[in-house]
Amino acid sequence: MYRHEVRVRYGDCDMQKVVFNAHYLAYSDDAVMCWFSTRLGDRMHEFDCMLKTVKIVWHRPLRLGDTAQLDCTVTRWGNSSFDVVISGHVAGEPSFDTTIVYVSTTPGAPQVVPVPDWVRSALRQDEQLATA
């Protein structure tokens, strides 16, 4: 599992100081890209993927000033696709869960290719750390 923190800013909120719906997906996307950057390092430019489907389930709203922890993990590996779950919570209380299905593509072009073994290995580091 990889953890990414987000502090809710004023501009992310509506008049009730609750985060706009679209920002949950932006937070999730940012968390995944930071995770990939951390794990893939200098080879990040050798891998690309595209979002195929996304599902968000809300448990409680994020509010102005909250610091949300977003936990990212791969929950399914296919040949050319994989599922990432991002669980957002504040002080241990669930806020939202995002499930994203990504499809591996050639870098810079939307041509579907198998997920490279080195990418699977790099992202599985978090699975091994979580069970250790």
Walk along the chain (132 residues) in steps of 10 and give the mean pLDDT of each run: 95 95 96 96 95 97 97 96 98 97 92 97 73 40
**Residue owning tokens 């296919």:** 78
pLDDT of residue 129: 47
Helices (H) and strands (E) in the chain, counts: 2, 5
pLDDT of residue 126: 66
CA distance 113 to 48: 10
Q: How many C-beta neighbours within 10 Å does residue 62 have?
A: 25
Note if the pTM is more than 0.85.
yes
Q: In total, how many domains does the chain have?
A: 1
CATH code of the domain containing 70: 3.10.129.10
pLDDT of residue 125: 78
Instruction: Print the domain residue range for 119.
Output: 2-131
